[in-house]
Amino acid sequence: MATPSRSEILTLFRSLLRSARQFQDYNIREYTKRRTIDAFRHNKTLSEPSSIAAAFSDGQSQLQVAKRQAVVYSLYAPKIKSIMDIKH
């Protein structure tokens, strides 16, 4: 696999954050956002093309998992909103 470009990496980052917004549960939504940001910060120092490609591939698979999980969680969403979701 070729090394992904900077724009492809940023697109993946934005897509992961967008998929996090699909979760209705506050805790899962925030966990997904935090996990995405932490993973990208951790992989920011990668310089070897093969490790960058591997991290990108892992990110793409995580995106697919997040999209599937968002659909599953929407089917079984709680009827009552979390206290964190209630706006004053």
Grade residue 88 by pLDDT with cuts at 50, 70 and 90.
Answer: low
The pTM assigned to this predicted structure is 0.85
Q: Is pLDDT above 90 for 81?
A: no
**How far, in whole angstroms, is CA 2 from its chain's centroid?**
22
Q: Give dist(CA 18, CA 28) in Å, integer.
A: 13
In terms of pLDDT, which residue wins out, 26 or 4? 4
Instruction: Answer whether 67's CB lies under 8 Å from 19's CB.
Output: yes
Q: Tell me: the pLDDT tens digits for 16-47?
A: 999 999 998 888 999 999 999 999 999 999 99
Q: What is the mean pLDDT of residues 41-70?
A: 96
Taking Cα atoms as reference points, which of 33, 19, 28, 30 lies closest to residue 77?
A: 28
